[in-house]
Structure 1
Amino acid sequence: MAASFFNNKARAAAVAAAGSSKSKAGDSKEDSTRLQPWVEKYRPKSLDDVAAQEHTTKVLQRTLQASNLPHMLFYGPPGTGKTSTILALAKSLFGPALYRSRILELNASDERGIGIVRDKVKNFARAQLSQPTGLDAAYRAQYPCPPFKIIILDEADSMTQDAQSALRRTMETYSRITRFCLVCNYVTRIIEPLASRCSKFRFKMLDNSAAGSRIANIAEQEGLELEDGVVDTLIRCGEGDLRRAITYLQSAARLVGASNGPAKDADDDAEMTDAGSSRVITIRSIEEIAGVVPESIVESLVQAMQPVSGGSAYEAVSKVITDIVADGWSATQILGQLYTRVVFSEAIPDIQKNKIVMLFSEMDKRLVDGSDEHLSMLDLALRVAGILQGN
């Protein structure tokens, strides 16, 4: 061992091996960051990064300065930043050193019946706080580190009634050292005794300007080349869900091979595309990924339903519906786009729109219940055609 230590060649080989292992570790870390979903990669790190929820972030900023939080209830549509906001708040409160010991996060994928509330949640809530050691003054100046823990129950509206009732007493008993944050899509599914113990924060759907600026920023950081109108198409296809819009953007970037990966990955992506295809993300590629039916197909169905003199619209409607089913388009997507075309059409009288909307609601229920898509769309189109003809 000593002989090998004093051997210069052996020492040089050991140093080279250590350097190569470090470089491999760095490369693997870089690869993991590159392969990370963009939804997680660009998740807000602080409250200032949360987009279009100023009414909520302003209140939370003040509570952050006071280092005192109430029990909170975040509710709103999916993809509007509820989970990202509470995670950013928790990181701003405790920092990386105390985050794991002070935060308990349970998602809908976890078992969250009454047994989990009585066992895991209650045990974490009643555990006494240990005074952190080894934290310097600079760390405490940057992170307040208040004397309480936070339990985050994501998608709390999926919890059973018994579990919510059991949670009510736990929130009261250990409120001195534990704060609860309930995150849900439907606030009406939270029992009233639980909701009344929380400060409610409503997350609204992102407006086009806020969502568009965030998508454009991600595209710029990833070095993507976008066709004019792609950002607006992503917002429209996302329907207010920023998470869905970012996922569509990443899928489109992977489809055209426009990611900033190494040359090897670029070659792999090139095999997925045609030899003469462009590396520009187009509106059509976004619509294909989102499953949006081309306007030409919707227009052909609308034309087939128009009144015809001295005849029935069955032949024309049946042909278009058969082609739509054969091409594999979603009946739910057709229903949504057809609804937009009919309801916002100025050529159709309001009395007819009223009748047609009732048909759309009935057909939507049928599709949810699992009815045959071909027969459902054919029935809807023929009944709409009959209304347009004045029958």
Structure 2
Amino acid sequence: MADTISVMDIDDEGDNNHIPKPDNGKNVVVSPPESKAIPWVEKYRPQSLDDVAAHRDIVETIDRLASGNRLPHLLLYGPPGTGKTSTILALARKLYGNQMHNMVLELNASDDRGIDVVRQQIQDFASTQSISFGAKASVKLVLLDEADAMTKDAQFALRRVIEKYTKSTRFALICNNVNKLIPAVQSRCTRFRFAPLDAVNITERLKHVIKAEMLDVPENGLKALVRLCNGDMRKALNILQSTHMASQQITEEAIYLCTGNPLPKDIEQISYWLLNESFATSYKKISEIKTRKGLALVDIVREVTMFVFKIKMPADVRILLINEMADIEYRLSLACNDKLQLGSLIAAFTRARASLVAAAAK
């Protein structure tokens, strides 16, 4: 055991196959378990930095910093399912090997969010002596997932702990909304933004899982998965696994049925009614298809909004429609009456249609 704590030691050849599970936070799965009960998001979580599907520029930058003993405090932010936690866990495996459970404190800040956690668990961990690898001592790693859920008092306390134990500990903060972190914490970290994954990266990873699980997924099913996940790899894998449990063949229709989303052909039909039928007819037909297929009005509004972007119409009419539908979606999020909001949706398209007729008559 070293008397002083200096630089970080990179342990590239640690045994990465038998890492015990940490006491806090998410389970760390280091090899794909054979049990069918395990969620695929954990079963196929990247185990090394080379396995991370996207954001190669960020991953390679972090890898170079770690390999050069220059790893700073990290702040990884962006939408869910974009690889933030997987990147840090893969980095920790590379740094510590089979000593990861001793060298990493993993906390989910949405559960452990108060100032007591910072003053007790985090400070106690940061202040204890590191395990030595050979002649050198390695810095420890504190992983705070969902750090934007921490209280302001906890964040101010964390700022002081980060400052005090920089020589012995590195902090990796992960969050969705970086604006909820105080500037004093942000300024002490190197920030990396994880954008939603593009369709190519998601498709490539899904094909890997489909092949490993020997699934029957036609091309239209794969496209539906990519379309519905909106750049969220975790969501894509959850939909894939859920649909597999419900259907032998993972078709587009099976995926939409499993998730409760309206099919594209249903949205085209609803949009046709909104643009061409009278108020009473549109209301009746949309209500019928909504009831028959168990669709949520908020999903219909969201998909119709995307459809409006694809059809030709004057820019001012398109903006008017999109703004009105955004208002309807907001009111639905506040649990406003579905029937009233459906009426508002049809009325918005009735006004837009009148504007289109007026523009064409000029």
TM-score by length of 1: 0.79
1:282 aligns with 2:251: yes
Other-structure match for 1:17: none
Q: Is the 8 A contact 2:115 2:157 kept in 1?
A: yes
Q: CA 1:240/1:146 → structure 2, altered by over 3 Å: closer, same or farther?
A: farther
Other-structure match for 1:102: 103
Other-structure match for 2:279: 314
Other-structure match for 1:352: 317
Other-structure match for 2:343: 378
Which has more radius of gyration? 1
1:154 aligns with 2:155: no
Structure 1 residue 47 displacement after superposition: 0.3
Matches within 5 A, 1:69-108: 69-96=71-98, 98-108=99-109
1:362 aligns with 2:327: yes
Other-structure match for 1:131: 132
Other-structure match for 2:11: none
Deviations 1:77-106 (A, max 9, x none): 11000000000100110012x111110111
Which of 189, 196, 204 matches 2:187?
Answer: 196
Tell me the secondary structure at the aligned position of residue 183 of structure 1.
Answer: strand
* Separation in 2, partners of 1:252, 1:152: 33
Other-structure match for 1:112: 113
Structure 1 residue 296 displacement after superposition: 3.7
Structure 1 residue 146 displacement after superposition: 5.6
Deviations 1:201-240 (A, max 9, x none): 1112111111111100110011112112222211111010
1:218 aligns with 2:218: no
1:294 aligns with 2:296: no
* Separation in 1, partners of 2:114, 2:34: 35
Q: Is the 8 A contact 1:63 1:69 kept in 2?
A: yes
Other-structure match for 1:273: none
* Separation in 2, partners of 1:88, 1:345: 44
Aligned AA for 2:103? R
Q: Is the 8 A contact 1:80 1:203 kept in 2?
A: yes
Tell me the secondary structure at the aligned position of residue 219 of structure 2.
Answer: coil
Root-mean-square deviation (CA, aligned residues, Å) is 2.1
* Separation in 2, partners of 1:243, 1:293: 21
Which of 307, 312, 316 matches 1:341?
Answer: 307
* Separation in 2, partners of 1:367, 1:165: 37
Q: Is the 8 A contact 2:217 2:250 kept in 1?
A: yes
Other-structure match for 2:178: 187
* Separation in 2, partners of 1:87, 1:343: 39
Which of 147, 164, 180 matches 2:155?
Answer: 164
Tell me the secondary structure at the aligned position of residue 54 of structure 2.
Answer: coil
Aligned AA for 1:75? Y
Structure 1 residue 109 displacement after superposition: 4.5
Structure 1 residue 254 displacement after superposition: 1.6
Q: CA 1:340/1:205 → structure 2, altered by over 3 Å: closer, same or farther?
A: same
Q: CA 1:157/1:109 → structure 2, altered by over 3 Å: closer, same or farther?
A: closer
* Separation in 1, partners of 2:48, 2:136: 16
Q: Which runs of 5+ in 2 are unaligned?
A: 1-30
Other-structure match for 2:243: 252
Q: CA 1:146/1:87 → structure 2, altered by over 3 Å: closer, same or farther?
A: farther
Tell me the secondary structure at the aligned position of residue 105 of structure 2.
Answer: strand
Aligned AA for 2:113? R
Structure 1 residue 150 displacement after superposition: 0.5
Aligned AA for 1:290? T
Which of 45, 56, 62 matches 2:47?
Answer: 45
Structure 1 residue 31 displacement after superposition: 7.9
* Separation in 2, partners of 1:183, 1:48: 20
Q: CA 1:65/1:125 → structure 2, altered by over 3 Å: closer, same or farther?
A: same
* Separation in 1, partners of 2:84, 2:145: 9
* Separation in 2, partners of 1:288, 1:307: 27
TM-score by length of 2: 0.85
* Separation in 1, partners of 2:299, 2:230: 13
Tell me the secondary structure at the aligned position of residue 381 of structure 1.
Answer: helix
Deviations 1:2-43 (A, max 9, x none): xxxxxxxxxxxxxxxxxxxxxxxxxxx998633211110010
Aligned AA for 1:376? Q
1:236 aligns with 2:227: yes
Q: Is the 8 A contact 1:93 1:146 kept in 2?
A: no
Structure 1 residue 307 displacement after superposition: 4.8
* Separation in 1, partners of 2:282, 2:43: 47
Q: CA 1:31/1:84 → structure 2, altered by over 3 Å: closer, same or farther?
A: closer
Structure 1 residue 114 displacement after superposition: 1.1
* Separation in 1, partners of 2:144, 2:137: 20
* Separation in 1, partners of 2:272, 2:201: 37
Q: Which moved more, 1:371-380 or 1:173-182?
A: 371-380
Tell me the secondary structure at the aligned position of residue 389 of structure 1.
Answer: helix
